[in-house]
Chains A and B, each alone.
Chain A
């Protein structure tokens, strides 16, 4: 066995660096999609608040309104800033996705640990001609990665490429 096994020296400093890879942004209309999504998300809570404060006008309603307003504005501003952060990078052996403005994260999934892949499209995404790429790993949903807001062709191509790479290892 020992003759087969090799242990090459690894120069840690020369390893490919995930932080220096060229990252690909989403199409610009993904921003509009997110604005619409966020708008729809807020309709119910803001509507409920307005009805409530009209029915029971009270001093605290003003403060609560200000707080809610800040949250709403922040969530919209966040989309703009977050858009510039949100991007993916494809390498030979893995896919990296980074996102977040207040809470920034970088996640890498190596292809040899992917169980299956899937491209999905919700009704709102269909309107914007966007797709979501889902990468599933073993052992439940915590380590699955999904990349929303991809061009349809792009998502399909990515999926095919990754599926081919993943299949080699299974």
Chain B
């Protein structure tokens, strides 16, 4: 079929040395900055530094070459074997049936060099250590297909070995892939403009301040004399500055979400195949994600008023993951689903899905109460402090309780858990509605929680754990919670369906 025989140890593409050189350089950026800021004041630094660049460069190149040279991979039997390492030699063996998903990605450097990176995600591995960073695209696709093929075979063999009485898995006829969404430019802009700008802005701010404080020592050395002047001006023009800042912050946030959206979701295409959801997205770094349907533990739909107004909602698909709580990387987001595409996704991923109609509602007053109390911890001390400065007018702050309690009550009123013998649906949120669909048999553990205050009111929380993280429903009635608890345990324990 091709000139590559993947069953023997294979090296990556030799051009990959450049990828390694750049990775090594990137790893040393912080060190360079540190050295630069310490030594820059010394005139001799530039001379010796210049001299040092040559051996350092040689060393990095040599290191990269050795990394390339010592990196081999092969598929033997039902295992993918990767050997790597220069100083610490490493041999990683991955059984194909443990592979959760395979991703092929490329960043801008890789794209220029015509290479891609192949990442293997397994249950129980930490992060993305299993990465082959410099492959030709054809070879990567070949390897991906080979691994998936072996994996399917290994799994079907294991099934036929364990119980032969069971009928063989019916041959699923090739359903043509259905396109869930293919984002055009206009839709992309709609998505970008309806992002949660406040969140983007605050995240960016946190990042800027985080990075700033990291380098503050260096910056202080050079700019400390200007600080005092600026501080004075800031004090003088604080209100004007505040308004300008707010305006700039909003503008910046919107532009940032727009930019981020375009980078992440440019030409997003999500298709539903008969055994996987496949998503292609990205402008500079094109990501291809493929999640086998049986790995999907639950889907979480989120929305906001703006996005709903343009007829979209987002879906986060949560596959069984490797380490700890689900990080964002391990959940795949489709940011713009038309409502009918949402239905298509639910039915495609969870065959036979129809929304359950029976369920329980949370106690809305409890939400209002707890948020009111929590707000009290901030508002009452704030009133005390403000009273000291401004007198009686400080008591106006009491008014802040009303919207907080109102919003909490409204969103609490919408918290409900619906279920039947196949599906569990959790709903919450008023302005930002969230809907979670979870097949009952994917549940791993259920937990009931009640503190002494809740006990008095016969209320409790329930937490549902899956292999892709957990979700909770708070302030349910104790009696109903136990009913649900016992029922779901019954469904899980009598289920024969595979859950991972």
A107 and B486 contact, CB distance less than 8 A: no
Shortest beta-carbon distance, B495 to chain A, in Å?
8
Residues 441-500 (chain B) with a chain A CB within 8 angstroms: 443-452, 455, 465-470, 482-483, 485-487, 489-490, 492-493, 495, 499-500
Shortest beta-carbon distance, B301 to chain A, in Å?
21
B465 and A142 contact, CB distance less than 8 A: yes
Answer yes or no: A32 CB below 8 A from chain B CBs.
no
Residue of A7, A93, A104 touching B450 (CB-CB under 8 A): A104
> Which of B322, B421, B446, B466: most chain A Cβ within 10 A?
B446
A10 and B421 contact, CB distance less than 8 A: yes
Residue of B167, B449, B469 touching A139 (CB-CB under 8 A): B469
Shortest beta-carbon distance, B497 to chain A, in Å?
10
Given contacts A102-B451, A113-B492, A143-B444, contact A138 B470 (CB under 8 A): no
Write out the residue numbers on chain B whose beta carbons fall within 8 Å of the beta carbon of A16: 486, 489-490
B493 and A110 contact, CB distance less than 8 A: yes
Answer yes or no: B325 CB below 8 A from chain A CBs.
yes
A142 and B324 contact, CB distance less than 8 A: yes
Answer yes or no: B30 CB below 8 A from chain A CBs.
no
Q: Give per-residue flags for A35-60: 1 if the beta carbon is below 8 A from chain B beta carbons, else 0.
A: 00000000000000000000000000
Q: A93 to B492, alpha carbons, bound, how many Å? A: 10
A94 and B467 contact, CB distance less than 8 A: no
Answer yes or no: A112 CB below 8 A from chain B CBs.
yes
Answer yes or no: B281 CB below 8 A from chain A CBs.
no
Residue of A103, A107, A139 touching B468 (CB-CB under 8 A): A139
Residues 1-47 (chain A) with a chain B CB within 8 angstroms: 1, 4, 7, 10, 12, 15-19
Answer yes or no: A108 CB below 8 A from chain B CBs.
yes
A140 and B482 contact, CB distance less than 8 A: no
Residues 229-262 (chain B) with a chain A CB within 8 angstroms: none
Given contacts A102-B451, A104-B449, A105-B447, contact A112 B470 (CB under 8 A): no
Given contacts A103-B449, A112-B493, A142-B325, contact A18 B485 (CB under 8 A): yes
A18 and B487 contact, CB distance less than 8 A: no
Shortest beta-carbon distance, A99 to chain B, in Å?
11
Q: A1 to B482, alpha carbons, bound, how many Å? A: 34
Write out the residue numbers on chain B whose beta carbons fall within 8 Å of the beta carbon of A132: none
Closest to B478 in A: A19
Residue of A1, A7, A94, A139 touching B493 (CB-CB under 8 A): A94
A104 and B455 contact, CB distance less than 8 A: yes
Q: A111 to B445, alpha carbons, bound, how many Å? A: 10
Residue of A18, A104, A113, A140 touching B321 (CB-CB under 8 A): A140
> Which of A16, A104, A113, A142: most chain B Cβ within 10 A?
A113
Closest to A113 in B: B444
B447 and A140 contact, CB distance less than 8 A: no
Closest to A111 in B: B493
A139 and B466 contact, CB distance less than 8 A: yes
Number of residues in B with C-beta < 8 Å to the partner? 40
Closest to A96 in B: B489
A10 and B490 contact, CB distance less than 8 A: yes
Answer yes or no: B101 CB below 8 A from chain A CBs.
no
Given contacts A106-B447, A139-B466, contact A113 B499 (CB under 8 A): yes
Residues 72-110 (chain A) with a chain B CB within 8 angstroms: 93-94, 101-110
Shortest beta-carbon distance, B300 to chain A, in Å?
15
Answer yes or no: B382 CB below 8 A from chain A CBs.
no
Given contacts A12-B483, A139-B321, contact A106 B493 (CB under 8 A): no
B450 and A105 contact, CB distance less than 8 A: yes
B443 and A113 contact, CB distance less than 8 A: yes
Answer yes or no: B320 CB below 8 A from chain A CBs.
yes
B487 and A15 contact, CB distance less than 8 A: yes
Given contacts A15-B490, A18-B486, A18-B489, contact A142 B469 (CB under 8 A): yes
A112 and B320 contact, CB distance less than 8 A: no
A139 and B486 contact, CB distance less than 8 A: no
Shortest beta-carbon distance, A10 to chain B, in Å?
7
Q: A101 to B452, alpha carbons, bound, how many Å? A: 8
Q: A143 to B321, alpha carbons, bound, how many Å? A: 13
A109 and B444 contact, CB distance less than 8 A: yes
Q: A93 to B489, alpha carbons, bound, how many Å? A: 9
Write out the residue numbers on chain A whose beta carbons fall within 8 Å of the beta carbon of B167: 4
Shortest beta-carbon distance, B313 to chain A, in Å?
26
Answer yes or no: A130 CB below 8 A from chain B CBs.
no
Residue of B324, B325, B421, B445 touching A107 (CB-CB under 8 A): B445
Answer yes or no: B92 CB below 8 A from chain A CBs.
no
User: Hey, which bits of chain A sit against chain B, CB under 8 A?
Assistant: 1, 4, 7, 10, 12, 15-19, 93-94, 101-113, 137-143, 145
9 nearest interchain CB pairs? A139-B467, A143-B465, A138-B467, A93-B493, A113-B444, A106-B448, A107-B447, A140-B324, A143-B445
List 24 contacting pairs A-B, 8 Å CB cutoff, sorted by A. Answer: A1-B170, A12-B486, A15-B490, A16-B490, A17-B486, A18-B482, A102-B451, A104-B452, A105-B448, A106-B485, A107-B448, A108-B489, A109-B445, A110-B489, A112-B492, A137-B445, A138-B444, A138-B500, A139-B297, A140-B469, A142-B324, A142-B465, A143-B465, A145-B445
User: Hey, which bits of chain B sit against chain A, CB under 8 A?
Assistant: 123, 167, 170, 297, 320-325, 421, 443-452, 455, 465-470, 482-483, 485-487, 489-490, 492-493, 495, 499-500
| Extra A-B contacts (5), CB below 8 Å, given A139-B322, A143-B466 | A10-B487, A104-B450, A104-B452, A105-B449, A112-B492
